[in-house]
Amino acid sequence: METIDKIKQQISENPILLYMKGSPKLPSCGFSSQASQALMGCGQPFAYVDILQNPDIRAELPVYADWPTFPQLWVEGELIGGCDIIMEMFQNGELQQLISEVAERHPEPTEKE
């Protein structure tokens, strides 16, 4: 699968997706740490991709997104922005509202008995 196709698939399959360095529990940079903390503070599950483990995505995503830096938050297929935008939205309550609305529209699949 081409890298761009993989990126498009990840974005389409995950309504809340954070491309970051490291993981939410073990971020590898301060900006990724702040962004994942803000998202975790919204109280909804989200997907993430560790770009350090995926050098192809790390190289291609800035071109695809027309956004040069990481982290990158994607919600319902749209690039929201990087750390500064995420933190600003979190501080004024916009991020929590956006994430909870998206989580309502995309409930996690429940296990069938």
Binding-site residue numbers for [2Fe-2S] cluster are: 29
Annotated binding site: 21, 29, 58, 70, 83-84
Residues contributing to the annotated binding site for glutathione: 21, 58, 70, 83-84
Burial class (CB in 10 A: 0-12, 13-18, 19+), 4: middle
Q: How far apart are CA 6 and CA 106, in angstroms?
A: 21
One DSSP character per residue, 1-44 reads --HHHHHHHHHHH-SEEEEESB-SSSBSSHHHHHHHHHHHHTTS
